[in-house]
Structure 1
Amino acid sequence: MLASLASVLSLMLSTLLMMVAFGLQSYVIPVRSVAENWSTLTVSVIATGYTVGFTLSCIITPKFVLRVGHVRVFTALITLLSIAILLCGLVVDWRAWIAFRAISGFAISGSYLVIESWLNERVTNENRGMLFSLYLITTMVGTIGGQYMVPLGDPTNTSLFILCGVLFSLALLPTALSSSPMPAPPAQARFDIPGLFRRSPVAVVGGFLAGALSGAWLNLGGVFTQKIGLSTGEGATLLASLLTGSALSQIPIGRASDRIDRRIVMVGCGIVGVISCLVMSASIGSSPTVLYIVAALVGSVLFPIYALNVAHANDLAKPDEYVEISSGLMITYGLGTISGPLMVGPVMDRFGPAALFIVLAVYFALYAGYAAWRILRREQHEGLVAKTDFQATTVLPTPGPDVTSPTAQQASQDGLIEDDTVPAWERQPE
């Protein structure tokens, strides 16, 4: 076990530094946007640049990995992250920020893919749970730690932007200097979202709504904390409370969904989301402690629901289809993250910060309602397929499937993954 941990120690350290910078970046951007008196709609448009870049990277980055390998791509992506945040500090114009945030979204998405495919090659069935738990803890601790750095500086000048760029650059050092062998290149993924919808409508619709929920919160949550008058320290605690609630609830939700129809759990999560969001919107003006508690309840279902959709889709699939399904759902999720901020921003401008959670409550209601409708339309396929294990996700669902998994490698050997001309990276879609 210690040997396995040592083999990924440098990767974990790079991940920690990257997520600290990511947490700092994800909070300082909306705080600075509010300080510039940009409208919530403008902030939403900037956020859309980020989500578009994130989604495109799901498709494009693996092609670069095939060409030049994991380490070079990771180095290039972290460099882009550093450049993008430094440019945000140098050129404070919302139109330029759309492009800068698109670069950032592309780079962070690709970095997730490189890290996770690298990590997957280092784990075995015996230590997979322990190492991925460590990975999830690392991402959460790094993100929260970065958010708490905002109160230490002044978002209205360039100091925090420079610090963020430095942290991204530092994230390069552990992997660049590591002597561990590099992971094998991934196999390419195809996407067949219509086919995935025919197989599992609730997974596709739920994945899109999960993306809309997380996209709206991740990009406008910082704006919400500023609009309701919280200090940067209190805002960081509220954001941290939501992430903590998400981390604590993933295992209970996963275990419940492994024992009963996952769609019933989806309905339950949607109901909890509706209630907690309505309570949050009504709690504005209450003590920060009340807001922290309610935020944790919102977080307990906001991020884990995506993993429910992935697990449900995989329940209806053959082992050689898992990668195709994960790829398709990630694209669906990405489209949701694009729509979320664009839908919520204008509503917040019109009706105030409380409208953020009203819209999130509507999304949760749609999520629960559609899952309930699908239960009435189609019974659970008990006995036809064995349930796959629920797998927790990071703070933000990662851009692609396990491209170096034994399932993927066997699929390639069996001819289930086609070759293009050179090593074609083709995976399953759905």
Structure 2
Amino acid sequence: MLRPQTRRKVLKTIGGTAAAAGFVGTVSGRQRTGDRKQGRGTRYAAFNIIELETEQVQNPGDPQAEAAARVIQEVRPDILVVNELTNNLQQGKYTGRANIDAFVENYLSVPQRDNLSGINYEYTLQPESNTGVLPEQDYDFNKDGTAGERPGDAFGFGEYPGHYAFAIASKYPIDESSVRSFQTFKWADMPGNLIPVAGEEGVVTDPEDGEISLYLTEEELDVYRLSSKTHIDVPFEVEGETVHGLFAHPTPPGFDGVNNFNGRWNHDEVRFFADYVAGEEYIYDDSGVRGGLHDNASYVLMGDMNAGPGLGRDERPLTPAQTFFVDNDDFYTDRLPKSPGGAQRGLPTATRTGGDFEGVVEQIDYVLPSPNLSLRASSVVWPSKNATKRNLGEDVSTASDHRLVWADIETHPRH
């Protein structure tokens, strides 16, 4: 349940540190680089580099990783989240160096074109992900008749632990003692959740004509996690102030059959951070600390939410991005990032092409500040079809079906 819409409009100061709580993941730091641009605020960016795997980043020379690095070096974000970067430490490969550190060292810190310079991110964080992680007891979550098999019976869809994970790189320090992760939060513990449960009215457990029918049993409710990857609050120390980075990558709302299981799951994953910034008390983190953010906290939500604003299609009847972002005054959405490439395809704010609707472009990647911060500029890196400048159009296509989204946000509060 959201707080009244005016609760943050009167804020004149930004908040301090979140309650101390542990998290599961890998944090590291490196030498300060000093290449931040002055006068633009802090540049935050989200980039889903589709299925960027361990072997690609642990060694130089991968074309997709090089193209993604060129796009990032063009934008030069201060704080960056990379979605769909495998967590190699969970995977059990190349465990001497986290994939985010390898990506920084092998690609981002190395100029990828003569007119570009490297970015040496000082701080990184690679949270653990629910993807590919099986519960201790075998469950048949995907209802295919076989329990305990990846990818469908894991807490999040993945061929191995850490598949489709995400990681964060920053020029600003991370307050490690105050990071809060919500990887183990149970979906059933969200009040008013939309879980399709066997035996409830309208939930199909015996579909006709071989249709997919996903649902949870009462036993499965006790273990099933809300986050398909993880939800995590990462406090950054930005110019003497604390800004909470809110990161998640909800499940895609498709491939789920008659009960709209993934659509419902996506809805509640998106809802979680709306409840979190509203300070809802039902929330608990992986250390057992309860409650959401303090009323005077500043934050930026970042990442691929797999949810776009506007009207739902028949296949996607729920519209969580509209409800919990656009129509929610706890996020500033008056000016959303746009691009020439998206405009040419009919949606200036689009951040992805393709998807489960052929030829459709979608706005599903976000950088959203709290309303007590000032948005100075923003954009989606998607050149027009006829743009030839530095072959950027080729780079964005090679890197991913998503486009990098960035926003310059003033650390000091709006007045």
Tell me if TM exceeds 0.5: no
Q: RCO greater where, 1 or 2, for CA within 8 Å and sep 6 or more?
A: 1
Greater percentage in strand: 2
Given the two structures, how large is their TM-score scaled by the length of structure 1? Answer: 0.26
